[in-house]
Amino acid sequence: MIGKFTRAMALRFPNCGASEIFRGYATLVETCPACRLKFERHEGYWVGAVAVNTVVTIGVFVVVLAGWSVLTWPDPPWTAILVVTIALNLVFPIFFYPLSKTLWMALELSVHPATESSQPPDTA
Ligand SMILES: [Zn+2]
- For the chain, 124 residues long, give each residue's pLDDT as a single digit of tens: 679 999 999 999 999 999 999 999 989 999 999 999 999 999 999 999 999 999 999 999 999 999 999 999 999 999 999 999 999 999 999 999 999 999 999 999 999 999 866 665 555 4
pLDDT score at 118: 62
Contacting residues for 9 by C-beta, under 8 A, at least 6 apart? 99, 102, 103
What separation in Å is there between the alpha carbon of 36 and the centre of ligand 1? Answer: 6
Q: How far is the CA of 85 from the centre of ligand 1 (A)?
A: 37
Report CA(44)–ligand 1 centroid distance (Å). Answer: 21
C-alpha 53 – ligand 1 centre gap (Å) = 23
How far, in Å, is the centroid of ligand 1 from the Cα of 42?
Answer: 17
Question: Whole-model pTM?
Answer: 0.88
Q: How far is the CA of 93 from the centre of ligand 1 (A)?
A: 26
Query: How close are the terminal C-alpha atoms of the chain, in Å?
Result: 31
pLDDT in the model for residue 124: 46
The predicted structure's pLDDT at residue 2: 75
For the chain, helix, strand, coil in percent to 5 are: 55, 5, 40
